[in-house]
Structure 1
Amino acid sequence: MASTDVLTGLMNRRGFIAETQARLADNLQGVVLIVDADHFKRINDTFGHAVGDICLRAVADRLRDVTTSQDVVARIGGEEFGIFVRRESLAIPALGQALCAVIPVRHHAATDPLQLTLSAGAAVTLQGETLEQAMRRADEALYCAKQAGRAKLVTWVADHVACSQPRPDPLFNPVAG
C-alpha cells in the first residue's frame, strides 16, 4: 500500500520513482512521460471533487489501456501521471495519440459525458542522467503541449524542446537540467 495511490489503484510517486530508478540502474533506457489532465481545476470548480475523482479514475483506466504490464505507470501528484516505457522512439507518437484521445466521462451531474483530454510530455532517458533530469525534460515538453493547445504529446528532442516561449520559471534551465 505504501507505493499505491488509493484513488486510482496505480502506483504512487514513491513507487514510480523507485521502480523507474531501478530500471535505469540496470541500464534499461526508455522514455519518461509526464501526463496531465487538461483543465482539471475547471472540472473540480464546476462539478465538484467527486466528479474530479471520477475523472482521475477514468484517466487511470486510459493509462492502463494504452500501456503494458512492462511499463511503469503512476499517479505522481494531483492530476499528473508518470509513465516509463521501453519502446522505440518511433512508437512514442502512437502512444501519445492513444493517451491524448478524448476520454468521455459519465457522471451524475450531467446528461452528456465530459470530454476529458490529456496533454503529455516525453523524454528519452539519456545515458548517465538521473530520473529527475529526465522528468524535468518531460515536464518541459508537457508545458509546451499545454501551450500548443493541449490534448497532445510533445517530445523533448536532442537538447531542447521546440516551444514558442520558455517556461516562466527563472530557476529552471531545460538545457542544463
Structure 2
Amino acid sequence: MITKSWGVAAAMISTCCVGLAAMEVRHRRDRTIWVARLEDAQLAANTDAMTGLPNRAALMAVLEARICSGASWSLALTDVDHFKIINDTLGHGAGDEVLITIARRLTDSAGDQVMVARLGGDEFALVVPTAPEPTVKLMEHVARAVEVPQTARGLELQVGISIGIAGYTPGLNAVELMRRADTAMYCAKKQPGHSVTWAPHTTPPSHHDVGRRQSRDFAGTAAQ
C-alpha cells in the first residue's frame, strides 16, 4: 500500500512537473513574443517610415551617448538644394523618390562608422566619429555621391546637398551642437553644393531668412 501510495505520489509529482514545465515554456514563449513586440515598437518609434533611417528621436539619443563618451566627433547636417522646386514641379511622389535615393547614397558613401538619420522634410544628419577636419573630406565624398544623376518619375535629375559641420567640444549639449551645425548649413546654402564648418564667427540666419526657410520646409513636409 505504501509502495502504491509513493507510486501515485510520484505520478502526481511527475504530472505537476510536466505541467509546470509546460507553463514555463508558455511563459518563456509569451515573454519572447512580448519582448519582440516591445523591440518592434521601440524600433518603429525611432525609425523614419519612408527611408528606414533612424529619426530625430534616435539621433538625439545617439548625440547624448556620444557626449557622455567624451571622444572627438562631429555632427553634420545636410539639406537638399532646391528641393521645393522638385516638389512643386514634379509632385511630392517624385520628392519622395529623391529623398529615398539620397538616404541610400548618404548611408553607402558615409561608411559603416557613421550614423545617418533623417530629421524630417529634406534634412538629414550624420554623426561622424572624427574631428571636423577629416569630416570635411568625408562630406565632400558624400556630396559627390549624392550628386550623381538619379531618376525620379522617369526624369533624370542631378540633386545636390549643402552641408553644415560642427565639431563636439567638451561642455556642449546636443541642442547647442545641433544649432551650430544648422547655422553652418545655412551658410553653406548660400553657395550650394559646399560644406561649411561652424566657427565662433559663423553668422546665424536672420529672422527673415529663418521665416523663408521655415516656409520652404513647410511646403516640403508632404514628402516626409
TM range (shorter): 0.7 to 0.9
How far off its partner does 1:28 sit?
2.6
Higher helix share: 2
Which SS does the other structure have where 2:118 is aligned? strand
Which SS does the other structure have where 1:154 is aligned? strand
How far off its partner does 1:21 sit?
1.0
Aligned twin of 1:81: 124
Distance (whole Å) between structure 2 residues aligned to residue 99 and residue 132 of structure 1: 24
Alignment of 1:45-56 (within 5 A): 45-56=88-99
Equivalent residue in structure 2 for 1:168, among 177, 200, 206? 206
Which SS does the other structure have where 1:129 is aligned? coil
TM-score normalised according to structure 2 size:
0.69
Equivalences, count: 164
2:201 maps to a residue whose letter is H
How far off its partner does 1:121 sit?
0.2
Aligned twin of 2:101: 58
How far off its partner does 1:23 sit?
1.6
Is 1:43 paired with 2:81?
no
TM-score normalised according to structure 1 size:
0.86
Aligned twin of 2:195: 153
How far off its partner does 1:42 sit?
0.5
Is 1:8 paired with 2:46?
no
Preserved CA contact (<8 Å) 1:99 1:118: no
Preserved CA contact (<8 Å) 1:20 1:72: no
How far off its partner does 1:167 sit?
1.2
Label 1:125 to 1:88 Cα distance change in 2 as closer, same or farther (>3 A). Answer: closer
Which SS does the other structure have where 1:35 is aligned? strand
How far off its partner does 1:69 sit?
2.5
Aligned twin of 2:175: 132
2:152 maps to a residue whose letter is H
How far off its partner does 1:50 sit?
0.8
Preserved CA contact (<8 Å) 2:131 2:167: no
Distance (whole Å) between structure 2 residues aligned to residue 94 and residue 13 of structure 1: 25
Identity of aligned residues (%): 37
Distance (whole Å) between structure 2 residues aligned to residue 145 and residue 116 of structure 1: 15
Preserved CA contact (<8 Å) 2:132 2:166: no
How far off its partner does 1:67 sit?
1.8
Preserved CA contact (<8 Å) 2:73 2:167: yes
Runs (5+) with no aligned partner, structure 2 = 1-43, 211-224
Which SS does the other structure have where 2:207 is aligned? coil
2:206 maps to a residue whose letter is P
How far off its partner does 1:89 sit?
3.0
Equivalent residue in structure 2 for 1:17, among 60, 78, 88? 60
Alignment of 1:51-130 (within 5 A): 51-101=94-144, 102-110=147-155, 113-130=156-173
